[in-house]
């Protein structure tokens, strides 16, 4: 019996190819995770776009598709927001199993059990407007550059978070308002 591949380790060795993958405007990428962020459900669109089969995704951390150019600060914001029981919309660049990347406008929400307690998370992702990505990319590049100055992951996330707040304050906005202004075609 062969051992199932460790996709967490695989994700670290997948190198971005620079090839951008896309999906249909009418398609929705859907995943569900447990409280630790391990995938419990992945729809066919997610499997196709991520170039990873469902059998290899289930039980694996959602971070298996984390792109090295995606700021830790945005994931810190995501987890901090989910920790308060709130939803978050975010622009995210993911790394597929074959090295391609793809952008999404993610909507992540806590999933509640019958007693009202959080039992996991549900994420729907749609194809973002290319103009929004052109606005977000330079911000994310600055955050990643700042984060790379800090060897410890937690320090990097905090430094990125501080810079994100600074950049948003300069624009007179919040991350939520930035995302929504871009999603609605307005310049932030």
Q: What is the pLDDT of residue 13?
A: 79
pLDDT above 70 for 6: no
**Residues 102-157 pLDDT 10s:** 999 999 999 999 999 999 999 999 999 999 999 999 999 999 999 999 999 999 99
Phi and psi at residue 109, in whole multiples of 5°?
A: -130, 150
What structural domains and CATH numbers belong to the chain?
7-183 (3.30.450.20)
Mean pLDDT of 64-75: 96
> What mean pLDDT, rounded, does the chain reach?
92
**Residues 14-38 pLDDT 10s:** 999 999 999 999 999 999 999 999 9
């Amino acid at each position: 019996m062969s051992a199932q591949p460790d996709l967490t380790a695989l994700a670290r060795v997948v190198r971005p190819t620079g090839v951008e993958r896309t999906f249909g405007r009418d398609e929705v990428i859907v995943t569900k995770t447990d409280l630790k962020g391990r995938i419990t459900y992945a729809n066919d669109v997610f499997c196709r776009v991520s170039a990873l089969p469902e059998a290899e995704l289930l039980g694996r951390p959602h971070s298996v598709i984390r792109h090295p150019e995606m700021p830790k600060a945005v994931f810190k914001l995501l987890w901090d927001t989910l920790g308060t029981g709130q939803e978050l919309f975010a622009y995210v660049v993911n790394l597929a199993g074959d090295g391609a990347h793809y952008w999404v406008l993610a909507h992540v929400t806590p999933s509640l059990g019958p007693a009202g307690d959080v039992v996991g998370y549900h994420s729907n992702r749609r194809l973002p407007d290319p103009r929004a990505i052109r606005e977000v990319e330079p911000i994310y590049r600055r955050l990643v550059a700042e984060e790379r100055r800090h060897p410890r992951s937690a320090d990097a996330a905090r430094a990125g978070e501080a810079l994100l707040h600074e950049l948003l304050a300069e624009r007179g906005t919040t991350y939520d308002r930035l995302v929504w202004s871009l999603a609605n075609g307005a310049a932030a």
